[in-house]
Structure formats: structure tokens, C-alpha cells
Structure 1
Amino acid sequence: MSTPGTRGRPSGLVIGSLVAISFGTVFVLVNSGGLPAPWPLVVRVAGLLVAALLLVGLFRVARRETPAPEREAAAFMDRRYWLVVALEAVALFGGLSVINNVLDRPEVAVAWVAVVVGVHFFGLAAVWRMPRYHWLGAVMTALGIAGFLVHALGGSAATVALVSGVGCGAALFATVALALRGATTPRPTA
């Protein structure tokens, strides 16, 4: 987090961006395979290109911008962080077990993943005092719910994966892009 009137890289920007770029890339690569040719290749190449551009931007910001003065914020060692992660793991794997083994609906698994990961960002936003995570959580949760709706309306597994999976990858990429832009923009003094 940056202090008003200062410029600099927010606390956690590098690690958070690397995690988001990695998971965004996985969301795009894994969930574009069911599309008709040539779209899997097009979407995957576009996703890899965006990830590469974001990495270049991240490394430029990390080299150019010094870390901004931090407010006291919880880090990875905070018990609240681990509680959020534990609840996410239980919801994720418990829900996937029900979806795959009880309901026999693997085509909506990615929608469930999107909902759970989206909801977990609300917890992280509170623990780390990062309001941007509320927006990311809302978008990813909405994309997960949209995937369930697509399925309920007769949409294919590939369409569910496109909406909930590739959509979440794009949301993670967009969040990194906004964070990088914010790290290089002077903040007005209060």
C-alpha cells in the first residue's frame, strides 16, 4: 500500500502480480481447449502474449519504482490469511468432489473453482487491506455464477470453460495491469 502523495511500488505488488499472472495463464491455457479449432491456439497464444507483456511490465516497475512506505498490513504469516486459504481449500475440494462424484457434472467444475477463488479474494481484501481484491472477487464470483447459468441454459462445457475459466484468467490479467498502472502513476497529495 502506498501513502497518499507518494509514488512507488505498493507492498506485495511483485509477489501478488506473479501469482496472478501464473494463475491467469493457467486459467486461459486449461480452459480454452474445448473450443473449436483454431480458437484454442488463438486464445492460448493471446494469453501467453498478455502474460509475457505483463511480466515485462512488472519487471520494469520493480526495477524503476522503489517500494512505497507501507502501512502495517498482514502478510503470508498472518493466521487470518491461513484461515482464508484453509476455507478456500475445503470449499474447493469438497465442492469439486460433490460436483464430480455425486452430481457427475464435471463440465461445471471450472465454474465452481471461479466462485470459490472469487470469494476467497474478499477474505484476502480484508486481511491485506487491498480494496482492489473486492473488485476481483466480485468479477470472478460473477463469472463462476455465469458459468453455472450457461450450463443451466444448455450451454456446452466449452462455453462454461470460456466464460468461467478464460474469463477469470482475463480478470486476473486485468487486475495486474491496473496494479502496474497504479504503481507508476503519481498519487495526488491529500
Structure 2
Amino acid sequence: RDSAQAVERKDLCDTVAVATPLGEVALRRRARDVKVVDFIQFFNQHELPELRLRLAEMAPFVDEIHIAEGTRDFAGAHRELLWPTVSRSDAAIAEHLGKITYHPVEVPPGAWGYAIQEAILAPRLRVPGRGVMVEGDLDEIVRRDVLQAMRSCEPADGRGWDANVKMTLYSFSMAWTTGDWSAPPLVRDFDHTAGAP
């Protein structure tokens, strides 16, 4: 059985590749599997259907789920934290609580614009250990075979996982003309162990 799993993992490394501006980068088998972490920002009850879908699709294939929620909305207005109530009253969410770490974030009153988002994202830098982190909007759901590949495979060029979403939609619908949409990587390696750089 172990050899069958090794073959499956090897095949997985052959079926998923990373597209870069310079071309496609193949994957190679890791020396040992790493943990896969999903980091999510949660803002309001209107996101619950997307959150349920993301958990249903991705939770079985990640080791940890970290959910950060801030005390201010995008406009800087104070808001009550919803997660403590929602997490216990929604059965589809509650079934995943064993994997979820919740990060309530006190956003500074003077924070504005991207400073609000940066404050809410700060806990991702304190996720312990090392592995591959998925972070992005709730509707950016990563395919299951890619999640499995992240655990068992790494880009063969030695540069690690550092993937983003190509958002050509912005150039058409928002007249964004200054290159790729700037956002944190959707998938990246992380190392928050003692002594890591």
C-alpha cells in the first residue's frame, strides 16, 4: 500500500505544474510531506455561502485553517465580530472547527484603506511551523489535486511555491493597465520556526 501511495504522489507531481511568465515549471517530489495551511479573511455574513463552499472543497485536504476577522470594515467603521456566533450556529462550518484557529484582530481606529487589510492579515505571519500557505479571497478555491501536490511536491526550479492569480479581468472591467494586479501570493511557502529568516 505504501508503494501505491508513493506512485500516486509521484504521478501527482507529474500532473500539476506552475505557470510563470518565463514558462512552465515542473514539480518534483519533496523529501518529506509538509503541512498545508489555508488562511482566510472573514468580513460579514454575506460571505457565509462562499465560506461553506471553501470549507467543503478544501478542508479535507489542508492540515490547518486560520480565519482572521477584524473589528473594522473596509471603510474603517467599527464592526462587531461575527465569527464567535456564526461558527457555533452553522452546522456546515461547525463540523470543521477542529482544524480552525480563529484570529480576532483589533484594527487600530486610525487605520484606513490597505492598512486595515494589512492589520487583518498580520496573523498569517504568526502561523507556527513550516509548509505551504494558501491565502486569498473566499471564492479563490484551490483544486484538490493542487492542494495534494503542494503537500507532496515542490517546484523543480528550487524557488518554492509563490503563485498568484492572473487577473486579466481587471484590465477589461476596471481599466487596470499597470501590469498584473498586485496582491499577496495565493500560494506560498512559509517557515515560522525558531531561527527561520
TM-score (norm 2): 0.29
Give the number of the structure with larger relative contact order, counting CA–CA contacts within 8 Å between residues 6 or more apart.
1
* Structure that is richer in strand per residue: 2
* TM-score normalised by length of structure 1: 0.30
